[in-house]
């Protein structure tokens, strides 16, 4: 009896070992993709805490507040309410405002500027007092020709575009969860300003 079943048993073991080996090889090529971290179901009402402006530029926080609030109101996924009545709160700081010339004409007059507004944004579950998500170095950026050139704009007009960028990213990060928006590396925000360049920026980039 033992000899009758010895061959099938060996064949079965060999087959199983080969299958396990092939399976492990196949799995080595699998890329881990975590599922999006969407807000908990108990969060239905959201408030925007006034942003903190850590730059020397006046009233930036108000402009960002208006843009973010309008983005959430237009979407309508969550009800916007007061801080006292909210289930979750968006808050953060405007950390840096960097406005530098990046192109010049033959007379060394600036013809193009680059604007970076760097923020640090978080979302707090008011029920548990936990930070559900946080994005450091969330940047709104634009390069634009000066208003004296065709298609150019003023610094204020460039700011409005940046506020819309940031509001869109903050809203998207809240609605669609982890991985939908990520902060920028500080080294990617803006190049160093050459020593011969006039200091026209609120804060010179430091790598």
Mean pLDDT for 110-127 is 97
CATH number, domain with residue 55: 3.30.160.150
CA angle 169, 56, 122 (to 5 degrees): 30
Confidence of residue 202 (pLDDT cuts 50, 70, 90): very low
Confidence of residue 103 (pLDDT cuts 50, 70, 90): very high
CA nearest to 95, candidates 129, 68, 133, 122: 122
Mean pLDDT for 53-73 is 97
First-to-last CA distance in the chain? 78
Total H helices, total E strands in the chain: 3, 6
Confidence of residue 179 (pLDDT cuts 50, 70, 90): low
Total count of domains within the chain: 1
Q: Residue 116 belongs to what domain range?
A: 1-207
What distance lies between CA 114 and its chain's CA centroid? 19
User: What pLDDT was estimated at residue 136?
Assistant: 92
Q: Is-above-0.75 flag for pTM?
A: no
């Amino acid at each position: 009896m033992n000899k009758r079943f010895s061959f099938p048993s060996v064949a079965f073991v060999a087959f199983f070992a080969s299958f396990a080996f092939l399976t492990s090889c196949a799995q080595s090529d699998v890329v881990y993709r975590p599922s999006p971290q969407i807000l908990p179901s108990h969060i239905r009402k959201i408030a925007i805490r006034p942003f903190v402006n850590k730059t020397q530029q006046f009233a930036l926080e108000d402009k960002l507040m208006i843009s973010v609030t309008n983005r959430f109101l237009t979407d309508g996924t969550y009800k916007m309410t007061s801080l006292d009545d909210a289930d979750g709160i968006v808050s953060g700081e405007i950390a840096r405002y960097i406005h530098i010339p990046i192109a010049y004409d033959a007379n060394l007059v600036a013809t193009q500027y680059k604007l970076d507004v760097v923020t640090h944004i978080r979302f707090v579950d008011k029920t548990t007092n936990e930070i559900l998500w946080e994005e450091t170095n969330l940047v709104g950026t634009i390069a634009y020709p000066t208003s004296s050139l065709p298609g150019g704009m003023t610094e204020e007009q460039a700011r409005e575009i940046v506020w819309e960028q940031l509001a869109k990213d903050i809203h998207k990060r809240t609605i669609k969860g982890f991985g939908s928006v990520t902060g920028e590396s500080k080294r990617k925000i803006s190049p160093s300003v050459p020593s011969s360049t006039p200091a026209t920026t609120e804060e010179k980039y430091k790598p």
